Amino acid sequence: MSALVCILHQGNVVFINQAGVKVLGLGSQLDALGTAFVEFVETDYRFLVEAGWELLAEEEFLPLKLMRRDGTMFEAEIRVRLIPGPEESFLLEARDISKFVRSAEALREREERLQGVLASVAEGIITVDERGVIESSNPAAERMFGHGKGKLVGQHIGQLMGAERREQHQELFNQYLAGSAKLMGRSVESLGFRADGGSFPLEISVSELRHGKGRLFTGILRDISERKENEERIKRLAHHDTLTGLPNRNLLNDRISHALARVRRHGGRMAVLYVDLDKFKPINDTLGHEAGDAVLREVAQRLDHCVRSSDTVSRVGGDEFVVVVEEIGRPGEAAQVARKILEALGTPIAYENHACQVGASIGIAVFPDDGNTMEEVSKAADVAMYRVKHSGRNGYCFYSDSMPVEDLDLAEVPAGG
């Protein structure tokens, strides 16, 4: 009999040859198009396909049991190859090898081959009975949870999930057995616990196997630590300044919005301080951008030490920072923060053999005194900051005041040490 040849996209058949129609006992090619190929795989072998076609593509040939449309089984040998292109598709070839595997030797070789595949895949694969007890595990699962060879067998699956989640997993499992919960065909994220007590984020995909009169469950387990770290890194990059680690404008706007909502609910005031560094440009021009970056990182740390944990320090531009001071009883509390900042920046910042001196022009706006919205308050703080800039720098000014409070004069350029 000629070989079955088909093309799979996202696991579904998008092309099948006439020989394949005959091999699978179909009426025509249309009977296969759009069908998930896993439906032609005997139930006990489906976990191999569910582990991913890309894994099977790494094998030269793989023995498998396939199922014809009328439900009869036959031994097959398949080969899977990735089709290059922008969309992930696979070319699958299969031939009926039933007559070649009827002998005990051929059956033994098939089992050894399957065990070899299980041992080589990166995903952990375990089988669990209806009580939740692990009946088998591959080496990847044992490595993932830090157990020796064969040590997972006999343990309850809940032992791998930690005490806090054990009851939750057991309840979900019981609901599935009772027919009231959907568990198959979807991935669930959880927390795995290693033998040494360490934990890691885990993704679990479960499929059901009929085993005589009972049921077995195959779990495909993936350690998703790297994926979670990448997601967290991307999230942080979207909301934090890469140089200083402070919240960026996106996160600042979100923090101000939430702070305004709290003040509107509970009353009181909040302040926005627009901090623009003085005499920063000469440092960049004289010592270079690396010195400037070092100064900005140090300024960020000093600003952060001037506020409470409930307040926010954000970098919104090259040498521009915004400080949000929440829950102030009177405007004088915002002035106290401004004075702290000026005092903190009064000490020169050491860079290599230089003492870099910066100061700050600080504009202060208070909600609800100086505006009813985030935009109004932020603009008022910006206007107040420019008043300081134009009247001598290194001081602070409230939007409601006409004259800024000035601090000591700055040195004109960074001094060598």
Question: Which of the residue ranges 28-32, 124-128, 376-380, 396-400 would you say has the lowest mean pLDDT?
Answer: 124-128
Say what the pLDDT of residue 185 is: 59
The predicted model gives 270-282 an average pLDDT of 93
| Angstrom distances, CA of residue 321 to CA of 50, 74, 167, 339 | 51, 71, 48, 15
Torsion of CA 226, 228, 233, 238, to 10 degrees: 150
Residue type, 126: I
- Architecture of domain 240-398 in CATH? 2-Layer Sandwich (3.30)
- The percent helix, strand, coil of the chain (3-state, each to 5) is 40, 30, 30
> What pLDDT band is residue 175 in, cutting at 50, 70 and 90?
low
Higher pLDDT, 169 or 41: 41
Reported as a single tens digit per residue, the pLDDT across 229-243 is 888 888 777 888 989
In angstroms, how far is CA 67 from the centroid of its own chain? 39
Which residue matches tokens 């296969």?
A: 32
Residue 398's SS3 state is strand
Topology match between the domains 4-100 and 121-227: yes
Per-domain residue ranges of the chain: 4-100, 121-227, 240-398
Q: Could you tell me which residues are beta bridge partners of residue 321? A: 275, 315
The catalytic position among 96, 223, 241, 319 is 319
Q: Could you tell me which residues are beta bridge partners of residue 77? A: 63, 95
Distance CA 48, CA 218 (A): 10
- How high is the mean pLDDT of the chain? 83
Which residue matches tokens 């057991």?
A: 170
CATH class of 121-227: alpha beta
Say what the pLDDT of residue 51 is: 77
Which residue matches tokens 């006992």?
A: 25
Q: Let me know: does 192 contact 144? Beta carbons within 8 Å.
A: yes
Say what the pLDDT of residue 414 is: 38
C-alpha Rg value of the chain to the nearest Å: 33
The predicted model gives 153-168 an average pLDDT of 75
Say what the pLDDT of residue 105 is: 59
Residue 193 predicted with pLDDT over 60: yes
Say what the pLDDT of residue 413 is: 34
Q: Which uninterrupted H or E stretch holds 358?
A: none
Residue 192 predicted with pLDDT over 60: yes
Residue 416 predicted with pLDDT over 50: no
Residue 158 predicted with pLDDT over 90: no
CATH fourth-level superfamily of 4-100? PAS domain (3.30.450.20)
* Tally of CB atoms within 10 A around 227: 12
Say what the pLDDT of residue 412 is: 37
Residue 348 predicted with pLDDT over 90: yes
Cβ-Cβ contacts under 8 Å for 361 (sequence gap 6 or more): 275, 276, 278, 385, 386, 388, 389, 393, 394, 395, 396
DSSP notation for 58-123: TSS-EEEEEE-TTS-EEEEEEEEEEEPSSS-EEEEEEEE-GGGS-SHHHHHHHHHHHHHHHHH-SS
- Give the helix ranges, DSSP H, for 1-52: 18-23, 46-50
Higher pLDDT, 85 or 410: 85
Percentage above 90 pLDDT, the chain: 36
End-to-end CA distance of the chain: 88
- Give the helix ranges, DSSP H, for 281-320: 281-287, 289-305
CA angle 380, 243, 252 (to 5 degrees): 35
Question: Which of the residue ranges 213-217, 254-258, 317-321 would you say has the lowest mean pLDDT?
Answer: 213-217
Catalytic site includes residue 278: no
Question: Which of the residue ranges 28-37, 124-133, 157-166, 334-343 would you say has the lowest mean pLDDT?
Answer: 157-166
Reported as a single tens digit per residue, the pLDDT across 97-143 is 887 766 655 556 666 666 665 555 667 888 888 787 888 888 888 88
Instruction: Say if residue 139 is preceded by a cis peptide, omega within 30 of 0.
Output: no
The predicted model gives 372-400 an average pLDDT of 90
> What pLDDT band is residue 168 in, cutting at 50, 70 and 90?
low
Residue 183 predicted with pLDDT over 80: no
